[in-house]
Amino acid sequence: MIHIVTSVHDRYPITSKFVAALKRQTVKDIHLILVDDGCTDGTGDMVRRELPGSTVLQGNGELWWAGGLQMAYDWICENQLSDQEPVLICNDDTTFAEDYLETGIRLLSENPNTLVVATGYGLHSGELLDGLFTHSYITGSGALLPPDSEGNCASTRSLFLRVKDWKRTGGFHPVLLPHYASDFEFTIRAHKKGLKLRSFSELTVQFDEGTTGDNDYEKLTRKKLFSKRSNSNPLYKISFICLTTPIYLLPIHLCCQAWRYIKKLGIFFRILRK
């Protein structure tokens, strides 16, 4: 059995397409663990109807991505799933081929002590936009790697791992990193604990570029800048740096980030005046 983990809030049309994609998979022994984060559109009932064996965990609408995954992680630990069972952490806005789960499970079995990362392509642009990254502990900069690479940082848009490897890595930090960068922190931590991160050209997903948050500096207001939906939120940037950077590199990393923000001060001052 493979356990599929996702967290949603009022995205019935998107989630229903995701469920339909799961039902078309060549692998039929599927257990969906869906965190219904305060949905008011009937998403939870739809999942129970379409995939009767699913587990629907109820949130309060304030979990965000990290909180939803933490709730699923707690459920997995409490229910003592087998350490070798595969898990797929996945956004519900992804689309994939009918043999996607079969391919992911095979790659997990062929690559022990590895988190298997899907490469993500934009649904409209067709460009490689997500997957496996490099991350510098000195500058905080990174780069998206091509398929069939190894790195130290990855998205959880579509990530295969074993139960034991999730337990080895630990849960998420919903207070310090409720949404953006929570997946990067999680996978960086997994890499630090000795797990490999690899992407594969035969494991691909597509996703709608328009379903992510508003990250355009010029359109940001002060309220948006400090919201949980902003991946430019300076409070969460600091949390990410402190959680991921080795202590001996923290001073130089903070200096690099300070210089980066100084260069953007003109933009931020315009934001704060709005």
Q: Is the per-residue pLDDT at 13 higher than 60?
A: yes
At residue 223, the pLDDT reads 58
The average pLDDT across 140-161 equals 95
Strand pairing class (86-90; 2-8): parallel
pLDDT grade for 272, boundaries at 50, 70 and 90: low
Q: In the predicted model, is pLDDT for residue 254 greater than 90?
A: no
Sign, Cα dihedral of 1, 55, 79, 86? positive
pLDDT for res 165:
97
Q: What is the pLDDT of residue 205?
A: 97
DSSP letters spanning 15-28: HHHHHHHHHT-S--
Q: Which residue has the higher pLDDT, 224 or 240?
A: 240
pLDDT score recorded for residue 151: 96
Find, among 65, 10, 11, 62, the residue nearest to 181 by Cα.
65
Kindly state the average pLDDT of the residues 257-265: 69
* Residue 222: per-residue pLDDT: 55
* Confidence bin at 234 (pLDDT 50/70/90): confident
Picking from 25-29, 54-58, 91-95, 208-212, which range would have the lowest pLDDT averaged per residue?
208-212
More confident residue, 156 or 273: 156
Please give the domain boundaries of the chain with CATH numbers for all domains.
2-211 (3.90.550.10), 217-273 (no CATH)
Q: How confident is the model at residue 210 (pLDDT cuts 50, 70, 90)?
A: confident
| Calpha distance 164→21 (Å, rounded) | 26
Residues 160, 87: contact at Cβ < 8 Å?
A: yes
Of residues 165 and 261, the one with the higher pLDDT is: 165
The CA-CA-CA angle for residues 144, 149, 150, to 5°, reads 95
- Residue 217: the pLDDT is 44
Q: What percent of the chain has pLDDT over 70?
A: 87
The per-residue pLDDT for 173 is 96
Tell me the pTM.
Answer: 0.89
